[in-house]
Structure 1
């Protein structure tokens, strides 16, 4: 049976309210949760960005959920710090914490003042970071000089089992790379043929881990309300990966004004009919044979969605 999780969006909701939301999600019957790890939101309208690692400790301590986050070692975070933070959570909450390690976005990483590398360099840097993190999780003393530098680092507090590491992917190429090192891949809602191609690329490259699917959608009792939420909160999230990766919040906010309803509808499902929404999610889950699906209503008020999901969505998805 596919695990059905709740996505906690730090870019849209203050961390105190988001903590209450994830607790409500557990009460509503969700199986698990995941969250983002941003320094900045995608638009000024979203307007939030709490520190994920502080929030994760509170969320794990006040729910029984497994929880994961998508993060980017190498620039804003040194991989040694990510290794230590993740090892601590995995020691405190055995078997309940995982990470999805990506190459990052300029909107978050530019704050350190370092030059933003090209994509091929970021890909190689990620592999170095993964190697450093895995070695530290094994208890090794690590020195490394390459695209990142590590000097005589050792983690003194280790979990019994290290956290699972996923590769975030929006393309066949990154899915195939994930087969080289990751315990599985994580992707988002896309046209069905793209989803199938991504999963096939991962499997064809030898990947045999879990497939995680995150689905962005806007739901409200009326179609007009659902579209109003989507236009307000997700119009800056419609651009291709290259564009979204290399721009700041201010740039994305500005170009979001040019987003059409067709573009927004491709980036997130917009529905007022819960049966139709559930069917569309189920179709994607079945197509890519997802082991886990995390549901992200892009509105800033989560309670109406959580109440509706408890009554009309979760049982049908399972």
Structure 2
């Protein structure tokens, strides 16, 4: 049986709200935290996007749970040497209870400095080089690097944890899964795709797999569906669109093609226990090590009470 964590959404909530949700998650019985790392929300309805490293500093003082970014892109907007410093400091603040989740990112967040947005194969190549740089810096040694995509000169992290920060790699397709298996300490993905997981394990061996899903708990199912559609219709956009659309406005335009029925078909909405259990069980059956659940909308307190009393006990958590 996997463990169950809570996924903090920086796109929807202010820093103070995220810290309060982390406290409620710990009290409800969740055993770890994911926190998203964005410059922009996906759409204006979500309405927030605080700097994740400041939020992590606050979390380190508020809860005793492990924390992981899901996920950070160390490619364009932020140089991998800077991400390494932020991650190492976070690990020290959390007493070693920090993992760095990384991925190839989205133009939505990464294009803001005016750089060209590379195609997917190039971004994977950049990610592999970035991970190599960060692992060297986590040792506390002085690092100089001149590679195809990055230059580092005489860099040394003086504030480092006792053990190097684990780096988990996000993947949604077969090529990315192979790269994740080769360079990552674990896999991050948002769907219980057995084929993807098998490809990751063939490439990397016996490493942990972490998954996330969104739900919209509420006593009025139809209202929950409307909330999920208004805030997160973007999750149902197909193919590479989520990686290449540049602004929240573009996501809002594309999301007009997503219907409420499409959202309801894939997102647990309402307060039926079996509906929530069925969605989570797919991850259990796919042999995930930890499943992170994220509540859509404002009624966080009701969600945590529901999971504390109805859902987590039936999962054996």
TM-score greater than 0.5 by the shorter chain: yes
1-structure distance, mates of 2:81, 2:269: 40
Contact 2:237 2:254 survives alignment (8 Å)? no
Structure 2 residue aligned with 1:314: 312
Helix, strand or coil for the counterpart of 2:269? strand
2-structure distance, mates of 1:93, 1:41: 26
Q: Kindly tell me the number of residue pairs found equivalent between the two proteins.
A: 313
What's the CA shift string for 1:38-85, capped at 9, x where partnerless? 000011111110110000011121101001001000211111111111
Helix, strand or coil for the counterpart of 1:39? coil
Helix, strand or coil for the counterpart of 1:7? strand
Structure 2 residue aligned with 1:73: 74
1-structure distance, mates of 2:43, 2:65: 29
**Displacement of 1:271:** 4.0
Contact 2:268 2:275 survives alignment (8 Å)? no
1-structure distance, mates of 2:80, 2:217: 37
Structure 2 residue aligned with 1:202: 200
Shift in CA distance, 267/35, structure 1 to aligned 2, threshold 3 Å: farther
Structure 2 residue aligned with 1:265: 264
What's the CA shift string for 1:114-146, capped at 9, x where partnerless? 111111111111111000000001123222222
2-structure distance, mates of 1:140, 1:160: 13
2-structure distance, mates of 1:302, 1:286: 24
Structure 2 residue aligned with 1:250: 249
2-structure distance, mates of 1:138, 1:312: 44
1-structure distance, mates of 2:292, 2:99: 14
Contact 2:217 2:295 survives alignment (8 Å)? yes
Helix, strand or coil for the counterpart of 1:219? coil
Q: TM-score if structure 1 supplies the norm length?
A: 0.94
Structure 2 residue aligned with 1:64: 64
Q: TM-score if structure 2 supplies the norm length?
A: 0.94
2-structure distance, mates of 1:266, 1:36: 24
Structure 2 residue aligned with 1:99: 100
Contact 1:6 1:34 survives alignment (8 Å)? yes
Structure 1 residue aligned with 2:14: 14
Structure 1 residue aligned with 2:277: 278
What's the CA shift string for 1:217-262, capped at 9, x where partnerless? 2221132122111111111221124101101211001121221134
Structure 2 residue aligned with 1:187: 189
Contact 1:137 1:155 survives alignment (8 Å)? yes
1-structure distance, mates of 2:298, 2:177: 31
Structure 1 residue aligned with 2:43: 43
Structure 1 residue aligned with 2:135: 134
**Displacement of 1:93:** 2.0
Contact 2:2 2:284 survives alignment (8 Å)? no
* RMSD over equivalenced CA pairs, Å: 1.5
Shift in CA distance, 77/266, structure 1 to aligned 2, threshold 3 Å: farther
Contact 1:275 1:312 survives alignment (8 Å)? no
**Displacement of 1:275:** 2.6
Structure 1 residue aligned with 2:213: 215
After TM superposition, the runs of 4+ consecutive aligned structure 1 residues lying more than 6 A away are none
**Displacement of 1:162:** 1.6
